[in-house]
Amino acid sequence: MSDFTLEGGCQCGAIRYRLTAPPLMAYACHCSECRRTTASAFGVSCAVLQDTMEITRGTLKRIDWEVESGAHRYGEFCGACGSRIRNGDVPSRGVFSLRAGTLDDQQWAEPVAHTWLSSKVGWFSVPDDALTFDAQPTDYTPIIEAYQKRRGLA
């Protein structure tokens, strides 16, 4: 996998990045926070190991906030066009939540799981073959396994 490359960037092109390993998984989150930060009905994210993502053009801007549980998160975005690129935890857990719509190749963005269905909009129907969670999954292993299988990585 050492020669693996997957690239992406923001809307205006000021930010570009490169992944040097496949994402761990892709999932759709229907929580109200993802709805706001993506300005869409739900967010589609890829979990990416921090060590496998490098910013190849531009400098990300950052916003920090506290979620209801008291945990601290941050988001990074293009300061020129405002596209959200990724979120992370403080302190770091070694994983970015990459906004999957920024990937050049959207095959990798296909979500195998849908989370926070308790706050999903009424007019979207989750595909029959997706893994589903009413809130935050406590164990991501099944999602990772399903994604790896779907992408032919396992």
Contacting positions for Zn ion (CB under 5 A): 10, 12, 14, 29, 31, 34, 78, 80-81
Report the residue number, 10 or 98, with the smaller CB distance to Zn ion.
Answer: 10
CB of 18 to Zn ion, least distance (A): 16
> Smallest gap, in angstroms, from Cβ of residue 108 to Zn ion?
19
Q: Minimum CB separation from Zn ion for residue 45, in Å?
A: 8
**Shortest distance, CB of residue 126 to Zn ion, whole angstroms?**
15
Q: What is the 3-state secondary structure (H, E, C) of the chain?
A: CCCCCEEEECCCCCCEEEECCCCCEEEEECCHHHHHHHCCCCEEEEEEEHHHEEEEECCEEEEEEECCCCCEEEEEEECCCCCEEEEEEECCCCEEEEEHHHECCHHHHCCCEEECHHHCCCCCCCCCCCEECCCCCCCCHHHHHHHHHHCCCC
Task: Pick the closer one to Zn ion by CB: 21 or 79.
Answer: 79
Between 6 and 44, whose beta carbon lies closer to Zn ion? 44
Residue 83 C-beta: closest distance to Zn ion, Å = 5
Q: Residues 6 or more apart from 21 whose CB is under 8 A from it?
A: 1, 4, 49, 52
In the complex with Zn ion, the residue whose CB is nearer, 11 or 92, is 11
Nearer residue to Zn ion within complex by CB, 14 or 126: 14
